[in-house]
Chains A and B, each alone.
Chain A
Amino acid sequence: MDAPIDPLVAAAIHDAKNALMALDTQLAAAAHHRPAAADFRTARASVSRIATQLTELLTLYRAQNGALRLAIDDHDLADFIDDLLAELGPSPAGIALAVDRSAALTLGAWAFDAYLVKLALLDALRNAQRHAATRVALALDAPPEGGIRFSIADDGPGFPETLLAGADAVTSQSGTGLGIAFARLIAARHATPNGRHGQVELANPTTGGARLTLTLP
């Protein structure tokens, strides 16, 4: 995501996002009258996906203008994973979601920007669900070199080679790469006073599928 975003485009994104929030309120009101209708849930899930992308774009814009500042504080990791899954919503038909939260309970809390990291992980999870054949796995662990590491793996066809080679923006059937550019930005902006930074790694494991890991220092 090296191409700068025009301020006019940024303003338009902002407007679109507000309009989207209004649409969501209307959908919520409509769903209130017909609680059984599944189409409203689907519609709201779409709204949420678009809103995530717009927020990612705006965040990248602010980063380019030096206006992105992370709000780091302690967050309970088990609560964080609960919130993440609640926002993700139910899995698509035929795709199972396995969550390993054992490390979250051992680690307790960690200091990070919960809002931005949640957005990055939500996007990665949705992406994995879109490409998975049968299964998506979310796990958290503490790597020996320090920090915490979220992993999202699926059993789909794996990341395209261009993406693995380090390219950010790839226009392909698999999407724009916006989510990954955003995740990289957010990870890199997480730092410690002794100079360690977070990072995102993509891999296609030999056992198949794709795996994204987001490490926070």
Chain B
Amino acid sequence: MDLHEKIGLLIDDMPEMRSSMRLQLASAGLEHCDQARSVKEAIDRLAAGRYDLIVCDYNLGQGTDGQQFLELVRRKQLLPLDTAFLMVTGETGYEQVATAAEYAPDDYLLKPFTSEQLGARLGRILNKKEALKPVYRHMGPGKDKDREKALSACDELLAQGGRYQLDVLRIKGELLLAATRLDAALALYASVLQQRSTPWAEVGRARVLAAVGDAAEAKDHLERALVAYPNYLAAYDALAHIVAKTDKVAAQALVERALKVSPSTQRNRELGTLALENRDFACAETAFRRTVEKDRSGFFKNHDDYAGLARSYTEQGKTKEALGTVKEMGVHFANTAELKARQAALECQVHAKAGNADAAKEALERALRIQQANQLDPQAALEVAQACFAGGRQDDAKQIIQAIAEDHDENAAVLSQAQAVFANAGLEDEGAMFLDATRQRMIRLNNDAVALAKSGQLEQAIAMLTEAADRLANNCQIAVNAALALLMHVHRNGPTAARLDQARRYIAQARRINPAHPKLAEVEAYYRKVAPVDAPPLEG
């Protein structure tokens, strides 16, 4: 593989390491290579341009590391799948890199190494990326994202043979799992494991078993996998995920074990969250303190970490520390409405717990003012709801939660956060009923509208769904159904520019909320079918 035509990005915080690496890369043939000194610079570079390859040092200073950086840019989809990512590490970082679970680098190289070794490694990764390009193309992000096409590309590569068979099978297993084609996924993992034991296939099989409802078998497989592969983080994650459904205390213990292997911010956050649910506030305090203290760059911690820490202190009666944490949030994050609402809501809860009724009331009123004046993200809004419970304003709390639950009725994570707010207020059962009723109402709304449309009362269906879609800007199902009703009208009564515009707008809204929604492709195809040839095309 010739590196002369490639464009690279080198990430290292140490100036002398950067210049020596730059020389090594040049003598390996890489002439075009940008440099970044920090996580921030690297993110800016990635947002601005496209790179064929990235060489990243494990240690990036400020309590940050290359593994955290990789997880962040993969999750934010800033790093195209066909960009090669090579992690350079000393012996101490090597275990962290080599045990990375979901977001592994394409390869890692231990220091010291020669420019020939570096060039050979980069060449190998780029060859593999090139071979897998037909699959990556359909794995998104972007307009070509299409899981079925990615699966067909896998099958074509498998039929051709070649040296990357196992890599293709690994990707195909993930795609089948994501598509809940569980029989096919199970067959794939079983056939790989018949020939060899390998951690990813062991975990893959267990995840399929859990998905088909065989939790006991899945747990058994994962526990045995962890004996053989005690460093394989994906096995801890999969096991903790299964165990958490029935036993949060056992799940907490598992996350603590995984933390011994890899003390990442993300895993400390998971531990803190579980410990809060288990009312193990001392453990939660330690875990959240690590998330806010370790990362001095501010890129990897978030509002939730400070909120978790403040709650851990509050529950232990450490009022001063809790208020200090709330104040400290303001130092580390941009001054947004979310931040202000969150701070005020947390202050209210701390004061309420400490018995300072006046201070709690003042903070709650501040939080509610911000909440009413802004469209807050669900986490900040739920914090305000939590404060309402603490300040004795149950009706306000429920009103806020209902709006969020309607808007995010397909988002399991948000719904479980909403349930946690009820649980924290000691209203677990009432919360479950309340949220279930909200869910039923949304199902009924969709069903009623569909029934109206089917019985020919399209105008009424459209009115109902567009009203809901405009109110619930984060509800994908409603947006999809609103577009469908409009397009049915076009199909039946002929196109009008206004209805087509409206349909297009709801399709864009649905795509923004959840590009992977199962009904999205159908409604897009319907638009293409019924829209006249000169109508504007769909975005994206």
Contacts and interface: CB of A to CB of B under 8 A. Distances in A.
B245 interface: no
A193 interface: yes
A111 B95 contact: no
Which 10 pairs between the two chains have the least Cβ-Cβ distance?
A: A71-B98, A192-B197, A111-B198, A193-B224, A191-B228, A69-B231, A193-B228, A109-B166, A193-B225, A72-B229
A108 interface: yes
13 contacts: A69-B261, A70-B230, A71-B99, A72-B228, A74-B167, A76-B124, A79-B124, A86-B120, A113-B98, A115-B94, A193-B197, A193-B227, A196-B197
Interface stretch (B62-70, B110-118, B176-184, B341-349): B110-118
Interface string B225-237: 1011111100000
Interface residues of A, number: 29
Interface in B219-258: 221, 224-225, 227-232
A196 B120 CA distance: 34
B163 interface: yes
B171 to A, nearest CB: 12
A108 B221 contact: no
B202 interface: yes
B200 to A, nearest CB: 7
A71 B198 contact: no
A73 B199 contact: yes
A82 B167 CA distance: 20
B75 interface: no
Nearest to B97: A71
A56 interface: no
Interface in A164-217: 191-194, 196, 217
A16 interface: no
A193 B116 contact: no
Contacts of A115: 94, 98, 110
Contacts of B163: 76, 78, 108
B199 A111 contact: yes
B165 interface: yes
Interface residues of B, number: 33
A72 B199 contact: yes
Contacts of B224: 193-194
Given A69-B230, A76-B163, A108-B166, A194 B98 contact: no
Interface in B87-138: 91, 94-95, 98-99, 104, 110, 112, 116-117, 120, 124
A70 B231 contact: yes
B66 to A, nearest CB: 16
A82 B261 CA distance: 30
Given A86-B116, A108-B166, A111-B199, A192 B231 contact: no
A24 interface: yes
A71 B231 CA distance: 6
Contacts of A113: 98
Interface in A84-106: 86
Contacts of A21: 112
B231 A72 contact: yes
Given A74-B200, A193-B197, A108 B165 contact: yes
Contacts of A110: 196, 198
B223 to A, nearest CB: 9
Contacts of B261: 69
Contacts of B124: 76, 79
A64 interface: no
B110 A82 contact: no
Contact of B227 (A73, A74, A76, A191): A191
Contacts of A65: none
Given A25-B112, A115-B110, A191-B227, 15 more contacts: A55-B91, A69-B95, A69-B231, A70-B229, A71-B95, A72-B228, A72-B231, A76-B163, A78-B163, A82-B120, A115-B98, A193-B197, A193-B202, A193-B221, A194-B224
B104 to A, nearest CB: 8
Contacts of B229: 70, 72, 193
A196 to B, nearest CB: 8
Nearest to B116: A86
Interface in B494-536: none
A191 B226 CA distance: 10
A144 B228 CA distance: 21
B198 A74 contact: yes
B197 A217 contact: yes
A71 B233 CA distance: 10
Contacts of B116: 86
Contacts of B200: 73-74
A194 B117 contact: no
Interface in A8-36: 21, 24-25, 28
A191 B199 CA distance: 11
A110 B170 CA distance: 13
A73 B98 contact: yes
Interface in A37-91: 55, 69-74, 76, 78-79, 82-83, 86
Contacts of B120: 82-83, 86
A79 to B, nearest CB: 6
B392 to A, nearest CB: 51
Contact of B196 (A69, A71, A111): A111
Contacts of A194: 197, 224
